[in-house]
Amino acid sequence: MPVPLIVREVTLSPQNPPHRQVVLLHGQLPGREAPVIWSHSYEQAMDYIEGRLFSYFVQVDGRAVPLVVAENADGEKFLKTRADGDQPDALLALPALTSKTAD
Q: Measured in whole angstroms, how far is the alpha carbon of residue 89 from the centre of its chain?
A: 11
Delimit the domains of the chain by residue range: 3-98
Which of 16, 28, 63, 25 is CA-nearest to residue 46? Answer: 25
Residue 84 has pLDDT above 50, yes or no: yes
Query: What's the average model confidence in pLDDT over 1-11?
Result: 94
pLDDT at position 103 is: 45
Whether the per-residue pLDDT at 29 is higher than 70: the answer is yes
Mean pLDDT of 20-30: 91
33-43 pLDDT, tens digit each: 888 899 999 99
62-74 confidence digits (pLDDT tens): 899 999 999 888 8
Question: Phi and psi at residue 80, in whole multiples of 5°?
Answer: -165, 170
In angstroms, how far is CA 91 from the centroid of its own chain?
Answer: 6
